[in-house]
């Protein structure tokens, strides 16, 4: 009688490789994140600036906060130097930096 690997063992091995592959893929996609392309960034900045303009560059609770991906892409593509990734319509009240920045987009 010859000895070999049982079919059940092979199936469990393939299932294990599949599960590990899925886990590695999920961890990779969640940790690397996605960076916005310049066109996507520009589109979201236009939307954000338009919302700020419509709100009258409101301060306090009326201010619109840009999402972290938008705040980061502003620095990546437009290098303003004043945005810390959490830009708000009223972030630089008095300096009018947000409104000046948005003048190029609206």
What predicted TM-score, i.e. pTM, was given to this entire model? 0.59
- 35 contacts 2 by C-beta, under 8 angstroms: no
Spell out the domain ranges in the chain.
Answer: 1-33, 38-102
How many Cα atoms within 13 Å fall on the side-chain side of residue 5?
7
Rounded CA gap, 8 and 10, in Å? 5
**pLDDT tens-digit profile, the chain (106 residues):** 567 778 999 999 999 999 999 999 999 888 876 677 889 889 988 988 888 888 777 755 445 666 667 777 887 888 777 666 566 777 555 456 778 888 888 8
Rounded CA gap, 69 and 17, in Å? 34
99, two tokens: 């409104």
pLDDT on residue 50: 87
């Amino acid at each position: 009688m010859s000895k070999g690997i049982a079919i059940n063992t092979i199936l469990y091995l393939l299932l294990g490789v599949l599960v590990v592959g899925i886990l590695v893929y999920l961890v990779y996609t969640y940790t690397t994140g996605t960076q916005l392309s310049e066109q996507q960034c520009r589109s979201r900045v236009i939307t954000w600036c338009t919302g700020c303009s419509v709100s009258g560059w409101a301060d306090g609770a009326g201010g619109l906060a840009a999402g972290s991906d938008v705040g980061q892409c502003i620095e990546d593509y437009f290098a303003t130097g004043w945005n810390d990734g959490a830009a708000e319509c009223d972030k630089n009240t008095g300096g009018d930096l947000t409104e000046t920045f948005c003048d190029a987009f609206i």
